[in-house]
Chain A
Amino acid sequence: MRLLTIIALIWLLAACSTTPTQPTLYERLGEQEGITTIVDNLLYEIGGNDTLLPFFAATNISRFREKLIEQLCQVSDGPCDYTGDSMAQVHAGMDLNDSHFNALVTDLVAAMDEAGVATGAQNDLLARLVPMYDEVMNPDDYINAEPTDTDANRVTR
């Protein structure tokens, strides 16, 4: 029994010491170049998507592209800070429903497929973006809540 424990410990230690440093998601997406490709593919997909295209009628596409690259870089642990508006601000007044959200996810997956992103890295990025769902779908809850929260903080401090 004790021998088994020792063997298990040695095996564990060996496993730890030989495991190379895990690449960040940013690296697995192909860093700045890869993320740029994904975003450009996504813009192409949106361009052919009748469900989503109307929402971009008044959008400054080059700014959208730049901020989305920045955001995906930050979300994937890359060396960037997202400087765009909050998800609530961006999606306010759009009256989005699940069919829109699904359509964007589908286009993003297609964009990643096209860019040759591996399934595991795709799942990782999706898992990091999905928590934004509530803020995207219910922007009013966040925009209205922001000043109230700050006020409350001031009072308690």
Chain B
Amino acid sequence: MVNRYLSRTLMLLVVLTGLVFNPAWAGSKILATSGATQIEGAAGGGLVPWAIIGGYGSEREWGAAASVTRVGLPDFQLGTAAVHAGINNRFEVSFAQQTLQVDNLAAVLSSPLDGVIEQHVYGAKARLWGDLIYEPWPQVSLGMQHKVNLNPAAGNVLGANSDSGTDWYLSVSKLYLHALFERNLLLNGTFRYTDANETGFLGFGDGSGTDTQWMAEASAGVFLNANWAVGVEYRQKPDRLNLGESDWRDAFVAWFPSKQVTVVGAYTDLGKVALWDDQTGWYLSVQINN
């Protein structure tokens, strides 16, 4: 079941690897400042989209990234294959194919549901003003993520009233140089307007008419040196379906061995997901950049 997603992902990686070996397309952004890929495909941390524009392309340049991410939890496997591209350090477009594999979904809901929920996320982001490093004010970006849940049965059973939805978010990011124990400190705050249940895996809305809500997300990271960063993230989530949907958290280590490769490992705490408590586990994301 999982193999077909893996093969698509591998094809995607092959294409991007081709781009990597064309040096003419290397962007000029400072190492690590194009971040990683968050689970819905946007440039950011692991869970939270940041105001940064993806890829190493600066002004009059472009850059792209492809990544695969796995989150291993007691009752789930969450996988994302994603690409994003940034142009002129101004606009970003992204696409993510997400799969949530539920180990015993059919048994719990006693219905013939697919054990895998697949979701596609089409994203766009624009930098409104500011610069992550050089200007005194933070970088501020506006983004959207249009999500289509291809297996909406589980969400429908639990009370969601739509299989697609659009999140809007405003992100504020700043890298403070020589800020904490002489290290560079990255702070990010994101405010998301969303009607998604479990980020869309359990559909959208609940038919109450006041479906869409503002949620707060935050990230903090410290660069130990040019190649290594550690940090934490927090993502507030609504509980429209009255399932006790938890806020999400993680603590991450990010490795930037070169502009071509980004690796993020994390310990994630997704709390209660649908009917399953205590979903804590590991997170691993590997990204290549042109």
Chain A residues within 8 Å of B, Cβ to Cβ = 51, 97-99, 101-103, 105-106, 109, 113, 119-121, 123-124, 126-127, 130-131, 133-134
Q: Which residues of B contact A (CB under 8 A)?
A: 27-31, 58-61, 89, 131, 133-136, 177-178, 181-184, 224-226
A137 to chain B, nearest CB (A): 8
CB-defined contacts of A98 to chain B, threshold 8 Å: 28, 58-59, 89, 131, 134
Q: Return 23 A-B CB contacts under 8 Å, by A number.
A: A98-B28, A98-B58, A98-B89, A99-B27, A99-B28, A99-B59, A102-B58, A106-B28, A106-B31, A109-B30, A109-B226, A119-B182, A119-B225, A120-B178, A120-B181, A120-B183, A121-B182, A123-B183, A127-B177, A127-B178, A131-B136, A133-B134, A134-B135
A102 pairs with B28, CB closer than 8 A: yes
**A29 CA to B29 CA in the complex, in Å?**
25
Contacts of A123 in B (CB 8 A): 177-178, 182-184
Alpha-carbon distance A147/B58, docked complex (angstroms): 34
Those 3 A-B pairs whose CB atoms lie nearest each other, nearest first:
A120-B182, A127-B177, A127-B178
A97's partner among B27, B59, B177, B225 (CB-CB below 8 A) is B59
Residues of A within 8 Å of B61, CB to CB, are 99
The secondary structure that dominates the A interface is: helix
B225 x A51 contact (CB < 8 A)? no
Set of chain A residues within 8 Å of B224, measured between Cβ atoms: 119
> B30, A105: Cβ atoms under 8 Å?
yes
Shortest Cβ distance from residue B86 to the other chain A in the assembled complex, whole angstroms:
13
What is the bound-complex CA distance between A134 and B225, given in angstroms? 26
Contact of A130 (CB < 8 Å), options: B28, B89, B177, B181: B177
Instruction: Tell me the nearest residue of chain B to A97, going by C-beta.
Output: B59
Best-buried of B131, B178, B181 by chain A (most CB within 10 Å): B178
> Which residue of chain A is the closest to B181 with respect to CB atoms?
A120
Question: Are A130 and B134 in contact (CB-based, < 8 A)?
Answer: yes
The residue that A102 contacts in the complex, of B29, B135, B181, B183, with Cβ under 8 A, is: B29
Residue of A nearest to B182 (CB): A120
- B30 interface neighbour in A106, A121, A134, Cβ under 8 Å: A106
CB distance from A149 to the nearest CB of B (A): 20
Residue ID in chain A nearest B57 by CB atoms: A99
- Residue of B whose beta carbon sits closest to that of A123: B178
Q: Report the separation of the CA atoms of residues A106 and B225 in the bound assembly, to the nearest whole angstrom.
A: 14
Question: Which chain A residues border B134 with CB–CB below 8 Å?
Answer: 98, 101, 130, 133
Q: Complex Cα distance A121/B178, Å?
A: 9
Tell me, in angstroms, the Cα distance from A124 to B182 when the chains sit together: 7
- When distances are taken between beta carbons in the complex, the residues of chain A under 8 Å from B133 are 130
Least CB distance, A69 to chain B, in whole angstroms: 22
Q: A119-B183, A133-B134 are in contact. Are A97 and B60 (CB under 8 A)?
A: yes
Of A99, A120, A124, A131, the residue contacting B60 (CB under 8 A) is A99
Do the beta carbons of A126 and B178 come within 8 Å of each other?
A: yes
Contacts of B181 in A (CB 8 A): 120
A109 to B225, CA, bound (A): 11
Q: Whose C-beta in chain B lies nearest to the C-beta of A134?
A: B135
With A and B bound together, what is the CA distance between A121 and B184 in angstroms? 11
Kindly provide the distance from the CB of A126 to the nearest chain B CB, expressed in whole angstroms: 5
Q: How far is the CA of A119 from the CA of B223 in the complex (A)?
A: 10
Chain A residues contacting B225 (CB-CB under 8 Å) are 119
A119 to chain B: which residues have CB within 8 Å?
Answer: 182-183, 224-226
